Structure 1
Amino acid sequence: MLVCGTHRGLYRLDGPHDDPTRTAECGRVHEVAPSGDARLAATADGLFRSPDGEDWRPLDGPDDPVSVLAGPETVLVGTGDADVLRARPATDGWRFDPVGDLGAHPHGDRWRDRAPSGAPSVRTLAVHPDDGVLAGLEPGGVYAFAGDFWRRYGEGVHDDVHDLRVLGDGGVVAATGNGLYRTDGGDRWYRLDTDFRDFWANYFRESVVHDGRLYASANRWGPEAPAGVTLSAAAGDPAFDAVADPLPAADPAFAISWAVVDGALVGGTMRVDEDGFAPETSAPLIRREGDEWTLGAELPAGVTSLST
């Protein structure tokens, strides 16, 4: 089963080529994450939980969840007001406790000055084996919490952080609104997509590692017609000597979410047009078959998150 978070609620599919069934009307879905056999979803209508990917129930938690990360022993939620919360089941529901006080960081005033709504959001969360909880802010960059306080996690990454991916060798990849970045050790970020010959393809939403390769997709801005491209290279290649492939979609789109389904890489896309993003326009799944991308099922809106 594949759970799809979209700009128009939650859907489930038996496989990437099957018809989608709507399972929850909850507005835009920011992220879906597995939690044991259950799943959690951060949505415009709050935090939801499902034991089976079909029956979704709201949780009495933060009003503005924008990211969720579930591990074997903990659940973390990032909010639209620069908070990171640790969620635990309690006798009367769920308990949400702050992970430090990210919003009180000395850089907070700068984040708020640059945020269109006046509040930066924790768009992505990750856990690093050595550096603790990582939070990617939009705007704000990347910060780490190892138990005492939040600290800036390296210099040089673009402020608009959409996704953080911890690699097997301890490196971290950040997909941002202007470039794909990597850090080894959390001191300095360097840009991975600088050797990619298409200057305008620089807006990334998410990356994934599959079969030893790092995959990401970029939207192409600029004077030409909009279009999406996928990039892939060996995950351990510091130069990111990438192979670039166009998306197979007939209409312009780029992949903004990823999952591995039955051993195959699947991407969820969002349409783009001359005016920018078209998040509420129907968009397809794409699937990697051998060395080629093929089209999968069509979803009623942009596919913001995928979970198996």
Structure 2
Amino acid sequence: MAILIGTRDGVYRTATVPVEDAEQVLDSGDVPRVQTFPELDGVFAATKTGLYRSTDEGQTWKNLNVPQEEVYSVVASPDSERLYAGTHPAHLYVSIDDGDTWAELEGFQELPSRDEWHTPRHRNEAHVRSLGVHPEMSDRVIAGVEVGGVHVSDDQGETWTERRDGVHDDVHHVLVLGADEYVASCGDGLYRTRDAGQSWTSLDTDLDHRYFREAFELDGRLYAAAARSSPGTWSGEGGADAILVESTDSGETIETVSYPGGPAEVILAWTAVEGDVLAGTNDGRLISRDEDGTWVDAGMIPAGIRSLEVC
């Protein structure tokens, strides 16, 4: 087993929790996503210098040469026949030959709101921050755009439908819990849909913290973390002023819990290691959840953590 840690400086690798000897194995710059897929061999790193793949648990990497260099998201179809990559600027590509060649899914550019996808924070452009699929709907692809909302395709990405009404358009991550059930972590709230985005419910109406990056689910428990505001406010004495929340009823009720590094550090990444939750913060801290529900320190690495994966 190897734990791969996507950071602001590339990918680190370790084999132990608590982490004591993390080694940098990919010098790629910022890594928004490190991910494995049951149907494909190896692990993928979506980075701002390309989409990389490793077939030896992260020890060596190959650039798959997606047409746009800055890759923010990646997902594989359940039948392993298609690999999708989302980029900055906001384009979507598919490969049907294991990443050797890529074709743009041009229907994604034809969505009615496409001209509205931009923000001054990202060179007045947007990016495909999140991609998801579910085995029960193998032809369905769910895309989250920062800034641009949630969009769904039911024909392998050829045509798209906007599902952005009722959810904030600054979408950082879409957690796919079922064919029709998703949780969207946004720059202004946490939202759930149970009808594939046709309607959305706000889950954080009782919270003062609104800046969510990613949610995670394990054994029926939903985890999410939020900062008081966007990353530009995370420096200084108070840091991110963040919270960690848990829910056992799909977000109907939410409990705020304490964690190492909080509230100055905000959790940005999640994974599961041998049945336990492992999380990473913007300051490079790893924390894990004990069987009794207590969060404990699990080591530090020398860069802010963006994503986590086990392979």
Cα distance in 2 for partners of 1:48, 1:156 equals: 35
Cα distance in 2 for partners of 1:116, 1:284 equals: 26
Question: After the TM superposition, which residues 28-39 of structure 1 pair with which residues of structure 2 at under 5 Å, given as runs?
Answer: 28-35=30-37, 36-39=40-43
SS class of match (1:291): coil
Runs of 4+ in 1 over 6 A off after TM superposition: none
Cα distance in 1 for partners of 2:125, 2:132 equals: 21
Q: CA deviation at 1:297?
A: 1.6
**Residue 253 (structure 2) pairs with residue 248 (structure 1):** no
Q: CA deviation at 1:220?
A: 2.5
**Residue 75 (structure 2) pairs with residue 69 (structure 1):** yes
1:174 is matched by which residue type in structure 2? Answer: A
Aligned residues of 1:228 and 1:247 also touching (Cα < 8 A): no
CA-atom RMSD in angstroms: 2.2
Q: 2:125 aligns with which of 116, 119, 122?
A: 119
2:64 paired residue number: 59
Cα distance in 2 for partners of 1:113, 1:230 equals: 27
Q: 1:97 aligns with which of 99, 103, 107?
A: 103
Deviation digits for residues 45-67 of structure 1 (CA, Å, limit 9, x no counterpart): 11111002111122222312111
Q: 1:286 to 1:89 in 2, by over 3 A?
A: same
1:244 is matched by which residue type in structure 2? Answer: T
SS class of match (1:194): coil
Cα distance in 1 for partners of 2:300, 2:8 equals: 13
**Residue 108 (structure 2) pairs with residue 88 (structure 1):** no
Identity fraction in percent: 34
Q: CA deviation at 1:123?
A: 0.3
Q: 1:105 to 1:26 in 2, by over 3 A?
A: same
Aligned residues of 2:243 and 2:263 also touching (Cα < 8 A): no
2:174 paired residue number: 164
Cα distance in 2 for partners of 1:154, 1:251 equals: 31
Cα distance in 1 for partners of 2:287, 2:87 equals: 29
2:65 is matched by which residue type in structure 1? Answer: D
1:144 paired residue number: 152
Deviation digits for residues 7-40 of structure 1 (CA, Å, limit 9, x no counterpart): 0111111023122111011101111111434011
> Normalising by structure 1, what TM-score?
0.87
2:247 is matched by which residue type in structure 1? Answer: A
Aligned residues of 2:241 and 2:262 also touching (Cα < 8 A): no
2:3 paired residue number: 2
Residues 11-20 or 103-112, more deviating = 103-112
SS class of match (1:159): coil
Cα distance in 1 for partners of 2:86, 2:151 equals: 12
Residues 112-121 or 46-55, more deviating = 112-121
Aligned residues of 2:191 and 2:203 also touching (Cα < 8 A): yes
Q: 1:149 to 1:88 in 2, by over 3 A?
A: closer
Cα distance in 2 for partners of 1:181, 1:39 equals: 29
Aligned residues of 1:174 and 1:180 also touching (Cα < 8 A): yes
Cα distance in 1 for partners of 2:121, 2:241 equals: 27
SS class of match (1:157): coil
Q: 1:174 to 1:88 in 2, by over 3 A?
A: same
**Residue 57 (structure 2) pairs with residue 41 (structure 1):** no
**Residue 243 (structure 2) pairs with residue 229 (structure 1):** yes
> Normalising by structure 2, what TM-score?
0.86
Aligned residues of 2:32 and 2:306 also touching (Cα < 8 A): yes
Cα distance in 1 for partners of 2:22, 2:265 equals: 19
1:249 is matched by which residue type in structure 2? Answer: G
1:277 paired residue number: none
Cα distance in 2 for partners of 1:157, 1:61 equals: 29
Structure 1 residue runs without a partner (length 5+): 272-282
Q: 1:190 aligns with which of 198, 201, 206?
A: 201
Structure 2 residue runs without a partner (length 5+): none
2:250 is matched by which residue type in structure 1? Answer: G
SS class of match (1:137): strand
Aligned residues of 1:4 and 1:306 also touching (Cα < 8 A): yes
